[in-house]
Amino acid sequence: MNKPIIQLVDICKEYYGNQVLKKVNVSVRPGEVHALVGENGAGKSTLMNILFGMAVIHNTGGFSGQVFFDGEKVDITSPKEAMDKGIGMVHQEFMLLPGFTITENIKLNREITKHNVISKILGEKMKSLDMESMRKDARKALDTLGLDIYEMLSVEGLPVGHKQFIEIAREIDKTNVRLLVFDEPTAVLTEIEAELFLKAVKKLASTGIAILFITHRLNEVMRVADNITILRDGEVVGKLAREEASVEKMARLMVGRKIDRIQKTEKKSNGSIDENILEIKNLKVNMPGERVKDVSLEVKKGEILGIGGLAGHGKIGIANGVMGLYPSSGEVVFNGDKIKLNNPKDALSKGMAFVSEDRRGVGLLLEESIEKNIALTAMQVQGKFLKRIAGINFALTWKIRAHARKIIKELDIRCTGPEQITRRLSGGNQQKICIARAISLEPELLFVSEPTRGIDVGAKKIVIDLLLKLNQEMGMTIIITSSELAELRSICDRIAIIYDGKLEGVLPPDADDTDFGLMMAGGHGKAKEVS
């Protein structure tokens, strides 16, 4: 047994009173592949930010706990320091210069130089590049990874997988590298590329480099990891050696049981419960970062349907696609009517409404009054609050104000009055305004994306209760897209899980944790499906 190269001991961190890491312990030995597994928001990134001494940690009050590197207690205050110590990071987004060759990218800022006539007079800065030795180094790094590609090619236009490898090659070319951190490295790779990549990781580990591997693809974890640490809500909930781990076990730990199901009163039945209000067929949505590849889904009248899944797998894209905000193709039938895709107006006027996940970007006019924010869509789409005078539709200020006052009271929006601009309101109150605008349309079907993101705990409950009330008292069909599975499980009737842009399965809210975990990690077919 060799000594751990890195040890994180009792790490705690809070952001503005919100505990995101609670006494986390992780240690990695040289030559070990250590997997760090957890849902979005489990605290993985925060942990890595601490390891790299990112400014964001220090700007928010630092952390408590200790970091040992190679047996010594260290205090890493900047990414540069981390790199000097021999900690390398392979980023999720590529940081490569497209116009440069592979070699140049690998040796960027660490170029090998040699003297020439001018540099002998004018000094170090004028030295020329020793391309030959740089090539050799680059070749060596690429060979270590088993990547058979000419090292003088330009990076521009290379397939994503190759770019990922070049990024890694850059890290291992640093002679002092002793710990490599991979942040969801396979997220953008195809299966074959991922396969190659995993092989390269093993090869690297065998040279004595410690590897910390952050992912939520559980199958990959089983393939390469020697040890596994599972995080949930900032706590270590499991430490497993590969021998004792299984995909099911990890999935269960990752999702965990943390559900307090809200007791529902029996619903007023609105017609036949089996009637479909919305049918989505082969929907493809080209939303950057949340691509929907092929989703078919049926939504029943009067239900609350949850759409869950990990970030980047396309769950957010579905609502945005149906509402016409991102280019999409496929077929969407609402109440027997085919909806014109890529046309928000059509979707809105047929009786659907949408509360966007991007509250400040899409959801609000930040410099405008609350009343205008609430009334605008209903005015533009349905012609509410308007009076036609001499052929021109004029807005009726008093009608808008009365409506706003009523809704402010009903939803308990905390503000100084309907004329206050929305920028200065709290996240919870802003969210209420977004919902207020949507319900001003009196829609039959309401899409709500990430309704509780970025708002405090108290406001979360109010928003969830509000959605429940809309559903139960007004019979509104609601589709909630959320990264917080617990939230979905507390109020939804059914939960659809999206994986890799496709529907992985539909589960009842009280299904087993293992099934949820498996579906979110793409363990297709293993979980029981219900519908």
With contacts defined by CB under 8 A, name the span among 210-218, 236-244, 249-257, 392-400 that binds other proteins.
392-400
Our measurement of the distance from residue 117's CA atom to the centroid of its chain's CA atoms, rounded to an integer in Å, reads: 53
Considering only 93, 191, 243, 367, the residue that binds other proteins (CB under 8 A) is 367
Instruction: Give CA 400 to chain center in angstroms.
Output: 37
Rounded CA separation 237/468 (Å): 31
Shortest distance (Å) from residue 413 CB to other proteins: 18
| Least gap, CB of 375 to other proteins (angstroms) | 9
First CA to last CA distance, the chain? 50
Among 240, 237, 245, smallest CA distance to 228 is for 240
Return the number of the residue (196 or 332) whose C-beta is nearest other proteins.
332
State the binding string over 296-335 for other proteins (x if CB under 8 A, else -).
Answer: ---------------------------x-x----------
Adjacent-strand bridge partners of 280:
297, 332
- The answer to whether residue 402 forms part of the interface with other proteins (CB under 8 A) is no
Stretch that binds other proteins, among 23-31, 298-306, 340-348, 523-531 (CB under 8 A): 340-348
CB of 345 to other proteins, least distance (A): 3
What is the helix (H) or strand (E) element at residue 373, kind and residue range? helix 370-382
Position among 226, 368, 456, 493 found at the interface with other proteins (CB under 8 A): 368
Nearest-approach distance from CB 295 to other proteins, in angstroms: 21
Q: How far is the CB of 423 from other proteins (least distance, A)?
A: 11
Q: Encode 29-43: b = buried (16+ Cβ within 10 Å), e = exposed.
A: bbbbbbbbbbbebbb
What is the distance between the alpha carbons of residues 415 and 287, in angstroms, rounded to a whole number?
34
Q: Is 230 in the site for other proteins (CB under 8 A)?
A: no
Asked if 340 contacts 390 with a C-beta cutoff of 8 angstroms, the reply is no
Q: Would you count residue 486 as binding other proteins (CB under 8 A)?
A: no
Q: Is position 392 an interface residue for other proteins (rule: CB under 8 A)?
A: yes
Does 289 bind other proteins (CB under 8 A)? Our answer is: no
Q: Give the neighbor-by-neighbor strand order of the sheet with 64-69.
A: 18-28, 6-15, 64-69, 72-74
Query: Whole-angstrom Cα distance, residue 218 to residue 222?
Result: 6
Select from 379, 478, 480, 519 the one that contacts other proteins (CB under 8 A): 379
Report, in Å, the least distance between residue 406 CB and other proteins. 20
Among 77, 113, 144, 349, contact with other proteins (rule: CB under 8 A)? 349
203 φ, ψ to 5°?
-60, -45
By CB under 8 A, residue 337 contacts other proteins: no
Q: What is the size of the binding site for other proteins (CB under 8 A)? A: 32
Is position 393 an interface residue for other proteins (rule: CB under 8 A)?
yes
As given in the structure block, the two tokens for residue 260 are 């307090």
Q: Give long-range contacts, CB 8 A cutoff, 24+ apart: 322-327.
A: 322/278, 322/280, 322/283, 322/347, 322/352, 322/447, 323/347, 323/348, 323/352, 323/354, 323/447, 325/354, 325/356, 325/362, 326/285, 326/286, 326/287, 327/285, 327/286
Of 43-51, 73-81, 347-355, 493-501, the window that binds other proteins (rule: CB under 8 A) is 347-355
Task: Give the C-alpha separation, 304 to 446, whole Å.
Answer: 10
How far is 34 from 409, CA to CA, in rounded Å?
53
Tell me which stretch binds other proteins (CB under 8 A): 164-172, 351-359, 478-486, 509-517: 351-359
Q: How far is the CB of 427 from other proteins (least distance, A)?
A: 17
Q: Which one of 376, 402, 462, 474 is in contact with other proteins (CB under 8 A)?
A: 376
Provide the minimum distance between the beta carbon of 296 and other proteins in the complex, in angstroms, as a whole number. Answer: 24
d(CA 375, CA 399): 10
Q: What does the binding site for other proteins look like in residue numbers (CB under 8 A)?
A: 323, 325, 344-349, 354, 356, 358, 361-368, 372, 376-377, 379-381, 383, 386, 392-395, 397
